[in-house]
Structure 1
Amino acid sequence: MIREYLEENVYEAFQKRIKFIFEEFDNIFVSFSGGKDSGLLLNMTMDFQKKYYPEKKIGVFHQDFEAQYTVTTEYIERTFERIKDEVEPYWVCLPMATRTALSNYEMYWYPWDDKKEDCWVRPMPKKDYVINLEHNPMTTYRYRMHQEDLAKQFGRWYRMSHGNKKTVCLLGMRADESLQRYSGFLNIKYGYKGQCWISNQFKDVWCASPMYDWTSQDVWHANDLFDYDYNELYNLYHKAGLKISQMRVASPFNDYSKDALNLYRVIDPEIWAKLVGRVRGANFGCIYGKTKAMGFRNITLPEGHTWKSYTMFLLDTLPPRIRNNYAKKFNTSIQFWHQTGGGLDEETIHELEEHGYKIKRNGVSNYTASKKSRVIFLEQIPDDTDDIKSSKDIPSWKRMCGCILKNDHICRSMGFGLSREQKRNIEYIKEKYQSIEEMEYGI
């Protein structure tokens, strides 16, 4: 993507984008998490709507993960009560499969699990606009569906319940939050009318991120400039000495948040006491989350083991479902590095050759911007590559072992993303329910 410097600030660019959204889409709703980005997006969108489209109501969707700070719950409730008469509010508290990085024995936990009501972290919100199992108009919901699928299927249901017209979900996603998000916005292939910040989910259902080029500084400047309400958790984070990049409003059990588990014990001890009894491994993760025990620092090899044998030993200790998940990803990685190869810098290739690794070039990698050479390993995958200093992106049994020790079920540290098997095999679901959907909704 060619970088262009425009004579407008991010707020002016946002105003143009939100105008485009209101002109192009019939149904608009904001995904509100309770964080700084989605909160600002909601406030600015409502300001625009009141000024230019007062006759058009927007929806507000909040996906509640049950386990969160008390001040976050207070902010969400305060926001909904303030805007409930001006928007269509949807506060969703339905059981859903949510990833956990705290246990080798559980890949998921289930917020608002109706079978574990006695150990919920907090009581079910009592508002007319709360959606739960007892009050659920969302016909596209499946019991204990994955959290990502629930969010997507809400958009599909919103379209169907609003005349099957063109629908868009507004997200507070920003490119500077991670390289993964940045690279996602670079791909304009599937953008709506050439806009890289709008992507398609279903027929006539889109997601848009009109703040994608904002920085954290921009967000806080706007909140201060317009005197918007925000989640006071950020004040507590600041007092605790966290960097802006560490301040996340997310499930405390996923792989992004587990390092900050100890803050719950300090900031919100009452909620912390309930977290310990809610998800297996919470207390262990709090104590050992930044130690060798969870693969955070350099792990050491037990005496008498190679990294391969230690990996096999750890796999044998796991439940079959978890073990098979890791084994499938490890086998995929091994096959990839033997047959296809990963893109490596010339410096790394020369270093591998100097250290005697049997490798071969296999064309160029289309996944790298600079078209790096693809490299395959001709012999067995190395036990470790500690002698290679120029890159960490080299296959080894030590790298695989680290995934197990960190409870990295997705194997992100090996370059994997979510598999559709983990998302309940989406192709199978599409085939199974496509004919039913066409008959029932005429689409």
Structure 2
Amino acid sequence: MVKESKGNVYEETMKRLEFIFKEFDNVYVSFSGGKDSGVLLNLTLKYAKDKGMLDRLGVFHIDYEAQYSETTKYVDRVFESLPKEVENLRCCVPLKCPTSTSMFETYWRPWEESKRDIWVRELPKKYLSKDDFDFITDDMSDYDFQKRFSLWYHQKRKAKKTCVLIGIRAEESLDRWRTIVSDRNINKYKKVSWTTKMYDNVYNAYPIYDWKTEDIWVANAKFGWDYNKLYDLFYYAGVPLNSMRVASPFHDAAKANLSLYRAIDPNIWGKMVSRVNGVNFTAIYGNTKAMGWKNITKPKHFTWKQYAMFLLETLPKEIADNYRKKLETSIKFWKEKGGVLSEEAIKDLQDAGIKFEIGGKTNYKTDKKPVRMEYIDEIDSRDFKLIPTWKRLCVTILKNDHVGKYMGFSQTKREAEKRKMAMKKYKNL
């Protein structure tokens, strides 16, 4: 087991890399084109070169086709400058990628052959295509592909043990911290906290988990490493340091900053408008009340319930049915079982003259009280998201929130079962 000392983050990371290359005969870096994975890649290349281990290293990248030009330029520079011993694992495959920019589509496919005439850009010089993988299915998501790729590469290299290096930092979010160092996660390699087991003899590792954002930029400056110049443009545009994201532009995580494309990369923006339905609307309203704030407005001749029904009628049947099922479940839940609300929310209901019942016990570990009630049109409350209103449903639809997170939903049983079956199918491959 590797022992952590109290050196600086650079020294600690080099010790972690020493441990990884000692324990694993097959290593690859998951490279997104962002600042964190870029620094991790440079650190790993430096270590492997100094130790004469470049032939044990690969660089994995999912190319999403539609992205900032500076990101593409940076990724191109990285792969063109890789030592010949390092394996190029740049993937251009038509996976199902979630989108929150369209009311008509829940996903889109980069590099989809049938839409070649509206591709945002051409394929890179060297890449792995769908034909290179025997495990891809039409329903495979980018997340599932990324996970399954590790096992495929492990088997392809006939490796004894494979380690996937990922540039996740705990500072980014509490969820990331839990992913990396959770005490409840027993699937660690030799009890090393910053590792996670993915398959037998295949592990993820997070060597820069304790780095700060400032450490990333200090390293780039000190060592003169190349980086995605998009961050410079973000800085000039006034984007806060911790809000700079190089995510897929149609993903929920990048939605609020989508409008920056028009100012920073107008040529790409023009192509993106036609690439995925709804991009222009999201760019205009993605960071405003129209995409989900409780202060959204409706046509004056509608109640919120009527407006919700109107929105549902404008959607394709499959999408509308998905929302209707969630609505039906939510109505039944609040009427029969009830949800938990704070004292403040309950007072807001009382002040508004809303009829409701307060239950006795609840299975939830909370000081809040269980409340049973019918759906209401709207309410002015700080806990607006927690109260069952038709307005909340309208917000969910306008946010293109297909899962229904705004209404308190998580994955459905069908979605969870589908994932379970996929994991079972690939478990012993």
Give the TM-score normalised by structure 2: 0.87
* Separation (CA, whole Å) in 1 of partners of 2:52 and 2:368: 53
CA contact (8 A) 1:341 1:374 kept: no
- Residue number in structure 1 paired with 2:223: 226
**Structure 2 residue 279 is the aligned partner of structure 1 residue 282:** yes
* Cα 1:317/1:24, change in 2 over 3 Å: same
Partner of 1:65: 64
The equivalent of 2:373 in structure 1 is 379
What secondary structure, in the 3-state scheme, does the structure 1 residue paired with 2:147 have?
A: helix
Letter in 1 for 2:70: V
RMSD: 3.0
Q: What displacement does 1:188 show? A: 3.0
Match of 2:256 in 1: 259
Q: Is the 8 A contact 1:34 1:72 kept in 2?
A: yes
User: Does the Cα contact within 8 Å between 1:361 and 1:374 map onto a contact in 2?
Assistant: no
Structure 1: distance between partners of 2:163 and 2:323: 36
Structure 2 counterpart SS, 1:225: helix
Aligned to 2:162: 167
State whether structure 2 residue 281 is matched by structure 1 residue 315. Answer: no
Q: CA deviation at 1:390?
A: 6.0
Give the 5 Å matches for 1:118-137. 118-127=117-126, 130-133=127-130, 136-137=131-132
Aligned length: 422
Q: What is the identity, as a one-letter code, of the residue corresponding to 1:426?
A: R
How far residue 285 of structure 1 moved from its aligned partner, in angstroms, is 2.1
Q: CA deviation at 1:32?
A: 0.4
3-state secondary structure, aligned to 1:408: coil
Deviation of residue 201 (structure 1)? 2.7
Q: Give the distance between the partners of 2:360 and 2:191, measured in 1 at CA.
A: 36
Distance in 2 (CA, whole Å) between partners of 1:46 and 1:155 is 19
> Could you tell me how far 1:309 is from its partner in structure 2?
3.8
Cα distance in 1 for partners of 2:71, 2:31 equals: 12
Look up the match of 2:406.
413
Give the structure-1-normalised TM-score.
Answer: 0.84
Q: Secondary structure in 2 aligned to 1:41?
A: helix
Per-residue Cα deviation, 1:31-85 (whole angstroms, up to 9, x for no partner): 1010001101111122222334626521110000000111111111111111141
Q: Distance in 2 between matches of 1:303 and 1:428?
A: 47
Distance change >3 Å, CA 156–CA 344, structure 1 → 2: farther
CA distance in 2, matches of 1:424, 1:364: 24
**Contact 1:101–1:255 (8 Å) recurs in 2:** yes
Report the CA distance between 1:235 and its aligned residue. Answer: 0.5
Residue 131 of structure 1 aligns to a residue whose secondary structure is: coil
CA distance in 1, matches of 2:250, 2:21: 37
The whole-number CA distance in structure 2 between the counterparts of 1:364 and 1:150 is 37
Percent identity for Structure 1 against Structure 2:
44
1:109 matches 2:104: no
* Number of the residue aligned with 1:153: 148
Cα distance change of structure 1 residues 225 and 139 upon mapping to structure 2, 3 Å threshold: same
- Counterpart CA distance in 2 for 1:36 and 1:205 is 25
How far off is 1:292 after superposition?
Answer: 4.1
- The aligned counterpart of 1:368 is none
Would you say 1:211 and 2:208 are equivalent positions? yes
Mapped to 2, the partners of 1:273 and 1:227 lie a distance apart of: 34
Which amino acid counterpart does residue 163 of structure 1 have in structure 2?
K
| Structure 1 residue 6, shift from structure 2 partner | 7.5
Alpha-carbon distance between aligned partners in 2 of 1:198 and 1:419, rounded to the nearest angstrom? 29
Q: CA shift at 1:14, angstroms?
A: 2.5
The one-character-per-residue Cα deviations of 1:252-300 (angstroms, maximum 9, x if unpaired) are 1122222322222222222111111211122222233334443357212
Q: Which amino acid aligns with 2:242?
A: S
- Matches for 1:421-436 after TM superposition, within 5 Å: 421=414, 425-430=418-423, 433=425
SS in 2 for 1:256: helix
